[in-house]
Structure 1
Amino acid sequence: MGDAQRTVDWSEGEWCNEPVRAEGAAAGTLLVQPAGGSDLWRHTSYGFVHDDAPALLAPLPAGQAMEVDFHLDYDRQFDQAGVLVRVDERNWVKAGVEFSDGQPQVGAVVTREVSDWSVAPVPTWAGRGVSIRVSRDGDALTVRARADDEPWRLVRLAPLAPEAAASAGPYCCSPTRAGLRVRFTGWRRGPADAALHPQE
């Protein structure tokens, strides 16, 4: 993974939902402040629809992968950052780290008319650099994540139709408060992963 990657400049993306503030910072990073109460969710269990999280998106065609890096320094309920893969308002995947029930949790929400949610606790990731990778191959979207230079871990395998026009890039939101600021430190694209499982 990660061969033949190129950096995606922040200026190459277009905002789906403008943030309160987005500004360049040191070493080419991007500091993003989402609106308080912003979120991405459709119906399941909670009974509401939110589609107002800021996301900086660029095309993600079949056969491509995208990675986003950010610093995990938030600690309020449901604060989150990562990658959004969007087809339209009813079909999308968000993957990243969400602070939930007292600790950071890596996970994904896959939405096809209605949302689902899966998470796993990653308390040792707090205060570190996190990378989220989405890889589109055939009819599948593979989501992986890691902290710093640790091995990639598989987060989710989700369906994504080969013919679907999708875009992807960094997103963040703060459903329960205002004032969250996320420091994104990298954005890259390259070829899709060669295999779902590591080769022996």
Structure 2
Amino acid sequence: MKEFSQAKWLNPPKQYVLDDHQLRLTTDPHTDFWQRSYYGFRNDNAPALLLSYQDNFSVSVKVSFDYQKQFDQAGVIIYLDSENWFKASIEFETAALSRLGSVVTNLGYSDWATTDISTPQHIWYRLSRRGPDFLIEYSQDGEAYQQMRVFHLHQLGETASVQTDPPAAAKQAVKLGLYACSPSDSSFTACFEQLTIAPCRWRSHPH
């Protein structure tokens, strides 16, 4: 993917192929991102291909996968550091039913918001930034997107009191990217393609 030609790996995987059109990534067992909440453990060893980006944006990507065991996941990520980040993916449960969800980690504590979904073979995500605030959406056909959640990353500062279109320039760079992991004793291959990075398409809220 040309858009990620300057991207760098966090926790490089043992097996991957990256070209102008796609990233194919095979996960290693016992890899994950999670911080403290409920479980108590801290995991920060999953592979993520990250691009430093300062402007507001809307990034979309098609993610295909061949999940093998419970908790396998692949999706999009914003990574500031080990205690401040965001990820969205379908987390595998069974061949019939999985969890479409997202994790927001602020100040070293992760949350997890999910909804049940029939396990597909692929999905599209669109992630948009307006300063310290973000919108994550998903699509089953790459055309019609549905909102998953709006969230804030505390480390990026305060939300502007006046929203504008186009949004005010972002003040701090973030690392946005793609990730896949297998928290249990599993391994699978994910494919990321049809990636685009464009100016922010997330409109301001009318007052």
TM range (shorter): 0.7 to 0.9
Map 1:38-187 to 2 at 5 A: 38-100=31-93, 103-112=97-106, 113-123=108-118, 126-127=120-121, 129-160=122-153, 161=156, 163-187=171-195
Output the CA distance in 2 between the equivalents of 1:56 and 1:159.
Answer: 22
**Unaligned runs of at least 5 residues, structure 2:** 157-169
Output the CA distance in 1 between the equivalents of 2:110 and 2:172.
Answer: 18
Letter in 2 for 1:139: P
**Unaligned runs of at least 5 residues, structure 1:** 1-6
Judging changes above 3 Å, is the alpha-carbon distance between structure 1 residues 196 and 173 closer, same or farther for their aligned structure 2 residues? farther
Determine the structure 1 residue equivalent to 2:159: none
Percent identity of the aligned residues? 30
- Does the aligned pair in 2 maintain the 1:108–1:119 contact within 8 Å? yes
Which residue, 31, 40, 46 being the options, matches 2:24? 31
Per-residue Cα deviation, 1:117-174 (whole angstroms, up to 9, x for no partner): 0111120x512x3111111113311111111235211111111325443111110000
Q: More displaced, 39-48 or 161-170? A: 161-170
Determine the structure 2 residue equivalent to 1:11: 5
Letter in 2 for 1:57: L
RMSD between superposed Cα atoms in Å? 2.3
Runs of 4+ in 1 over 3 A off after TM superposition: 7-10
Letter in 1 for 2:47: P
- Does the aligned pair in 1 maintain the 2:35–2:43 contact within 8 Å? yes
Output the CA distance in 1 between the equivalents of 2:73 and 2:111.
Answer: 16
What's the TM-score, normalizing by structure 2? 0.82
- Does the aligned pair in 2 maintain the 1:87–1:164 contact within 8 Å? no
**1:175 match: secondary structure:** coil
Letter in 1 for 2:113: S
